[in-house]
Amino acid sequence: MPELPEVETIRRDLQNKILDKEISQVEVKKESAIKNEIEKFKQVLSGESFSDLNREAKLLVFDIEDSDQVILSHLRMTGKYVYDSGTETEFPTKHTGVIITFENKDKLYFDDIRTFGYMQIVTEKQKEDILSKKLGIEPLTDSFTLENFQRVLENRRTNIKNLLTNQQAIAGIGNIYADEICFESKIKPDRKVPTLEDNEIEELYENIEQVLQKAIDYRGTTFRDYIDTAGESGNFKKELKVYNREEKPCYDCKTLINKVKLSGRGTHFCSNCQQ
Ligand SMILES: [Zn+2]
């Protein structure tokens, strides 16, 4: 599943391609791909262009020129955007739900094998409502201060991995980066939040930003279905220290990396380096 670094990589790639191009045609191949009535979706986009592409945690936000409406898009498990300037041979597929054609004949495909992802046209006001309800503080933004992070941890009784992956607490971190952040912070993922010392919280805070920023620099991590809009895999996979490395020696101490189930999710850690 794409996490913050993967969605940011997609955003940066797409932004260079789709902005300020007039949309000449909108085809909805699968109703499940959009959360609007098909006719409304087409009507709002036809003849318009995208004026900006932003990201709120794992959501892409497409601004529409001269409109108070935007498209929110969540990729969920397997959603992907593919930009086709006439050379694409693999797409569209039978899983392509939306095809947007620009005036220069380039196309943008929204493709989703498992169909949990979506595009949704909403007003700015609806967008704010959705984001404030759904999303907690977001790393790599101005609001992600140590103070705000400490506040998020207050009165939480869960373990730190659960908290890191709770989108309503901290937005953008999933299974892969939660494991990596815990490793870099030398904290076991099953540690209960109230047991964390001040210096451990500071470590976590710093490593959240460092791990995510490094992953963005490497264009994200690739497992199974994620490819970026250029059809390329992310390069962060070989930088992972614990995720997907069970039974392999820890890079720091040679202890074999453990994998356990924590709240139903595969969780990786070094039992020697992490306390
Ligand atoms: Zn170790």
What value of ipTM does the predicted structure carry?
Answer: 0.99
Single out the catalytic residue among 2, 5, 92, 139. 2
Instruction: Identify the H or E element spanning 180.
Output: helix 175-184
pLDDT tens track for 18-61: 999 999 999 999 999 999 999 999 999 999 999 999 999 899 99
Q: What is the pLDDT of residue 227?
A: 56
Q: Looking at the predicted structure, is the pLDDT value of residue 98 above 70?
A: yes
| CA 248 – ligand 1 centroid, Å | 10
The count of other CB atoms within 10 Å of the CB of residue 261 is 8
Q: What is the pLDDT of residue 240?
A: 95
Nearest to 46 by CA among 1, 103, 95, 3: 103
Q: How far apart are CA 92 and CA 71, in angstroms?
A: 21
**Architecture of the CATH domain 4-134:** Alpha-Beta Barrel (3.20)
Q: What is the pLDDT of residue 1?
A: 77
Tell me the pLDDT of the chain averaged across its residues.
93
Q: What is the pLDDT of residue 229?
A: 61
Residue 105 is among the residues annotated as catalytic for this protein: no
| CA 241 – ligand 1 centroid, Å | 9
Q: How far apart are CA 168 and CA 159, in angstroms?
A: 15
Q: What is the pLDDT of residue 133?
A: 86
Single out the catalytic residue among 55, 58, 161, 245. 58
Whole-angstrom CA distances from 43 to 23, 37, 166 are 11, 10, 36
| CA 234 – ligand 1 centroid, Å | 25
Q: Looking at the predicted structure, is the pLDDT value of residue 231 above 80?
A: no
Residue 133 is among the residues annotated as catalytic for this protein: no
pLDDT tens track for 247-273: 999 999 999 999 999 989 999 999 999
Q: What is the pLDDT of residue 53?
A: 97
| CA 268 – ligand 1 centroid, Å | 11
Q: What is the pLDDT of residue 232?
A: 65
Whole-angstrom CA distances from 156 to 137, 150, 159 are 15, 11, 8
Q: Taking the domains of the chain in order of start, what are their residue ranges?
A: 4-134, 146-269
Residue 265 is among the residues annotated as catalytic for this protein: yes
Q: Which CATH class is domain 146-269?
A: mainly alpha
pLDDT tens track for 113-142: 999 999 999 999 999 999 888 899 999 999
| CA 254 – ligand 1 centroid, Å | 6
Mean pLDDT calculated for residue range 211-226 = 80
Q: What is the pLDDT of residue 72?
A: 97
Which strands form 118-123's sheet, in the order they lie side by side?
A: 50-56, 59-64, 69-74, 118-123
Residue carrying the six token digits 């992956």: 165
Q: What is the pLDDT of residue 203?
A: 98
| CA 260 – ligand 1 centroid, Å | 16
Q: Looking at the predicted structure, is the pLDDT value of residue 77 above 90?
A: no
| CA 3 – ligand 1 centroid, Å | 25
Single out the catalytic residue among 12, 21, 35, 265. 265
Query: Helix 146-153 crosses helix 198-217 at what angle (to 10 degrees)?
Result: 120
Whole-angstrom CA distances from 263 to 56, 63, 184, 194, 266 are 26, 37, 21, 18, 9
| CA 206 – ligand 1 centroid, Å | 20
Q: How far apart are CA 192 and CA 261, in angstroms?
A: 16
Residue 76 is among the residues annotated as catalytic for this protein: no
- Tokens of residue 101, six digits: 């054609």
